[in-house]
């Protein structure tokens, strides 16, 4: 007997900026991701103010969902998907983010996608903003640092909420909003990089700007959630955070305290606001430590209170260890912290920790007691096409199997888990490096780091495996 809910939402996740391509078709404007070059594990991708002749910008074509959506959705349906996580490209609807009138061609594209999904009874799960901030808003307002962006975002949401009523029920406001608490993560999420041209990892860290930007994102999220709740009662509105499970480096109480501080800033700061509708008591300590002074308007407190999320979603890839001693904190992986000696890591140094997912689910549910969903998880790996023409990705199956077992464990612990959408169910461009070589999919896309490839799709071994997992509602792993 299956331990997971009968209506468990099995599926897969993608984002327009890494998947869709067609970056300038039918009047689409450029987003922050369209200004990013490719890179690799050893050579970081760059943000360029102007487009350079002869440089590869991987988001431009990505893996071309725009022209392959029918084929791709048929593949998702073949695996038995119940849900399809994707994002709407803000600049496909409003090229600079500041127009009054939306682009009909852009709206129509998503109509086609949602209609296609409906054919197979697949529910869309739509991220409204996934690293797709209009670049024009960055040039004009330094991204979300500008309070003006709240109204532009509101108008964008008004437009898509009305257009897609009856087609979309599940919405997430900002992808991995808590990346704004991190220097590097904030580049793509808060867009506070006006005038910056250079490697992603060298973007100057300006905590004042990114925390102010986060405040505006919280307000924007709360305002559109209020709108959805009032006008579209069947809409379910969620947040989306990276959950960075972290452990104290040792049982030295100083390490335990340092880890608590890390967890508050990284994992709870944003979701406390989203779920509880107010800043947590420790927020002031974070701001003071960073010398941040958030400018708030008198109405802000009420706005936050009125736009709480209905469910909590998160991405989970890895964990790390936190030490009170600066020299031991090290560089375990992109979420910070030091490597854990008990864990192995992916080729990109992301520490593989299924138990950390069970721990995360329990922590989240204990804290908030609202339904939870894992909307990203997976193993970025180099896939080889074997002589038999197949991709034998047993390492991916192994990774996912262990994480699904951990999820089932968490459900047995009492967590109300709604669903699971592994990241990049079909190969997409990597967000951190801009590579194609870092693949997550059950479906291989013929596309390479030099921009070549015919974009044809081919099933990996994990495709049949995941199909079986879904059919058995997680019983057959
Ligand atoms: C999450 C993002 O951080 O992780 C995705 O929401 C991203 O956009 C995914 O692609 C995996 O990261 P990467 O860098 O391996 O693509």
* Cα 25 to Cα 109: distance, rounded to the nearest angstrom: 11
pTM for the full predicted model: 0.97
> Which of 189, 214, 241 is closest to 373 using CA atoms?
241
Mutate to test the pocket of ligand 1, among 173, 182, 376, 449 (most ligand atoms within 8 A of CB): 376
Structure tokens at 29: 């404007």
Going from the Cα of 253 to the center of ligand 1, the distance in angstroms, rounded, reads 33
pLDDT in tens, 383-416: 999 999 999 999 999 999 999 999 999 999 999 9
The pLDDT value recorded for residue 242 is 97
User: Rounded to an integer, what distance in angstroms lies between the CA atom of residue 197 and that of residue 209?
Assistant: 17
Mutate to test the pocket of ligand 1, among 315, 352, 377 (most ligand atoms within 8 A of CB): 315
**Which tokens is 412 given?**
């047995």
Nearest CA to 210 out of 241, 244, 174, 182 is that of: 182
Rounded to whole angstroms, the Cα distance separating 475 from 414 reads: 18
Please identify every stretch of the chain with a pLDDT value under 70, giving residue numbers as ranges.
327-335
**Whole-number percent of the chain with pLDDT over 70:** 98
Active-site residue, 176 included: yes
Q: How far is the CA of 430 from the centre of ligand 1 (A)?
A: 6
* Most distant CA atoms of the chain, gap in Å: 66
User: Cα separations (Å) of 213 from 145, 262, 270, 292, 430?
Assistant: 4, 20, 12, 12, 24
pLDDT of res. 334: 57
User: Is the interface score ipTM higher than 0.90?
Assistant: yes
Give residue-wise pLDDT tens across range 276-305. 999 999 999 999 999 999 999 999 999 999
Could you give the CA distance from residue 220 to residue 210 in angstroms, rounded to a whole number? Answer: 15
Nearest CA to ligand 1 atom 2: 431
61, 116, 132, 176: the catalytic one is: 176
Nearest partner of 300 among 222, 389, 235, 409, judged by Cα: 222
The rounded Å distance from CA 98 to ligand 1 centre is 27
Residue 332 is predicted with a pLDDT of: 47
pLDDT score, position 294: 98
Pairing between β-strand 9-13 and β-strand 417-420 as defined by DSSP bridges: parallel
- Rounded CA separation 444/396 (Å): 13
The SS3 call for residue 236 is: strand
Residues with CB under 6 Å of ligand 1 are 15, 18, 175-176, 315, 376, 380, 423, 430-433, 438
Pairing of strands 198-199, 46-47: antiparallel
CA of 405 to the centre of ligand 1 (A): 22
Q: What separation in angstroms does the CA of 416 have from each of 124, 285, 370, 425?
A: 20, 32, 7, 24
User: Which CATH number applies to 9-471?
Assistant: 3.20.20.80
pLDDT score, position 327: 64
What backbone torsions phi and psi does residue 134 show, to the nearest 5 degrees?
-55, 130
For residue 350, which atom of ligand 1 is closest to its CA? 15
Euclidean distance between CA atoms 98 and 352, whole angstroms:
42
pLDDT value, residue 184: 87
């Amino acid at each position: 007997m299956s331990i997971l809910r009968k209506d468990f939402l099995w599926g897969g996740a993608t984002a327009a900026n890494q998947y869709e391509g067609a970056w300038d078709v039918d009047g689409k404007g450029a987003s922050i991701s369209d200004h990013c070059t490719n890179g690799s594990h050893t050579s970081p991708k760059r943000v360029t103010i102007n487009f350079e002749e002869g440089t590869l910008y991987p988001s431009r074509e990505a893996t071309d969902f725009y022209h392959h959506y029918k084929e791709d959705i048929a593949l998702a349906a073949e695996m038995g998907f119940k849900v399809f996580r994707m994002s709407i490209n803000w600049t496909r609807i409003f090229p600079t983010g500041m127009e009054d009138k939306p682009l009909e061609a852009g709206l129509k594209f998503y109509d086609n996608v949602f209609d296609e999904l409906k054919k197979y009874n697949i529910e869309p799960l739509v991220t409204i903003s996934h690293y797709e901030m209009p670049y024009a808003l960055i040039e004009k307002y330094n991204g979300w640092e500008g309070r003006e962006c709240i109204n532009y975002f509101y108008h964008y949401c008004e437009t898509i909420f009305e257009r897609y009523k009856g087609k979309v029920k599940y919405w997430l406001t900002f992808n991995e909003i808590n990346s704004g608490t991190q220097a590097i993560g904030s580049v793509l999420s808060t867009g506070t990089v006006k005038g910056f041209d250079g490697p992603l990892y060298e973007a100057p860290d300006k905590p004042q700007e990114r925390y102010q930007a986060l405040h505006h994102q919280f307000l924007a999220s709360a305002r559109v959630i209020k709108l959805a709740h009032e006008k579209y009662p069947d809409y379910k509105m969620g947040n989306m955070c990276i959950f960075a499970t972290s452990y104290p480096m040792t049982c030295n109480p100083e390490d335990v305290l340092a880890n608590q501080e890390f967890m508050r800033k990284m994992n709870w700061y944003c979701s406390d606001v989203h779920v509880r509708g107010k800043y947590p008591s420790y927020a002031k300590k974070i701001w003071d430590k960073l010398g941040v002074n958030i400018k708030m308007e008198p109405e802000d407190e009420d706005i936050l209170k009125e736009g709480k999320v209905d469910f909590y979603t998160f991405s989970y890839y890895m964990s790390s260890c936190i030490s009170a001693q600066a020299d031991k904190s090290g560089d375990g992986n992109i979420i910070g912290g030091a490597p854990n000696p008990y864990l192995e890591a992916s080729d990109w140094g992301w520490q593989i920790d299924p138990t950390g997912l069970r721990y995360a689910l329990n922590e989240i549910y204990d804290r908030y007691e609202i339904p939870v969903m894992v909307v990203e998880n997976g193993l970025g790996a180099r896939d080889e096409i074997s002589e038999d023409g197949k991709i034998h990705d047993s390492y991916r199956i192994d990774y996912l199997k262990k994480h699904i077992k951990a999820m089932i464990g968490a459900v047995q612990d009492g967590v109300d888990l709604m669903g699971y959408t592994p990241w990049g169910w079909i190969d997409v461009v990597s967000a951190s490096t801009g590579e194609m070589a870092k693949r997550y999919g059950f479906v291989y896309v013929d596309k390479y780091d030099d921009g070549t490839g015919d974009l044809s799709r081919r099933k990996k071994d994990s495709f049949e495996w995941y199909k079986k997992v879904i059919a058995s509602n997680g019983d057959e792993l």
